[in-house]
Amino acid sequence: MGGVTSSVAAKFAFFPPDPPSYGVVDEEPPPPGVAPAGSDAAALSRRVLMTGVLWREGVEARRLRTRRGTEIIAMYVGCPKASLTVLYSHGNAADLGKMYELFIEFSARLHVNIMGYDYSGYGRSSGKASEANTFADIESAYKCLVEVYGTREEDIVLYGQSVGSGPTVDLAAHLHHIRAVVLHSPILSGLRVMYSVKKTYWFDIYKNIEKIPLVKCPVLVIHGYK
């Protein structure tokens, strides 16, 4: 029943660009004898080239294997002056191609490293978008920052925009030393976007309103008014 509910919710919650706004070409082939999805291969990370965007110095893209068996595309923008790294979960109807120039400008103006990633089923990431998959997606992006780029947890700022607030809040609730969280036009929950409900139902997705008390680091909320 939970899987059916999640599938129905996904049809209303996720709107990946179609077609994707960029392409990828593998720079590194998969290592020989890679174990199947769900094993220790979950930490797999290999470089790819993004096509359809203008190459910029300091930009690197990778294909990451998640614990749920999908392969997502992540983009890292390095800044020599950076002391902080932003892990950015983008909003709906967007992918890395659409966010590419924004990420580069974001990094240059704020002097931060930034990693963005495409959810399963978005851009050139495999699989289908679902709440559970986005949680696995952001975990893989976070692990890549720590294990590949040597980023310390206390130097990471989590940034979630719109639907991206879901995986952002979920990850922040499980980490204890994150520097800060930025929620840009966040949602209270999936159901609360459509209806003015006061109760949290079991079939709702992205229950941010229930998880935010578990986030102990500083939180900045950016929101507009009608």
How would you classify the pairing of strands 156-161 and 71-77? unpaired
pLDDT at 35 over 80: no
Residue 13 pLDDT > 80: no
Question: Would you state the pLDDT for residue 148?
Answer: 95
Q: Domain total for the chain? A: 1
Number of residues that make up the chain: 226
Q: Each residue of 151-193: pLDDT tens digit?
A: 999 999 999 999 999 999 999 999 999 999 999 999 888 766 6
pTM over 0.85: yes
Query: Which pLDDT value is given to residue 30?
Result: 61
pLDDT digits (tens, 9 = 90+) for 57-73: 999 999 999 999 999 99
Examine the pLDDT at 88 and tell me if it is beyond 60.
yes
Distance, CA of 119 to CA of 9 (rounded, Å) = 16
Q: Is the pLDDT of residue 36 over 50?
A: no
The answer to whether residues 66 and 141 touch, using CB atoms and an 8 Å cutoff, is no
| Residue 130 belongs to domain spanning | 2-222
Note the pLDDT of residue 198. 74
Give the CATH number for residue 47. Answer: 3.40.50.1820
Percent helix, strand, coil in the chain, to 5, is: 35, 20, 45
Weakest-pLDDT range from 1-15, 19-33, 90-104: 1-15
Greater model confidence, 205 or 33: 205
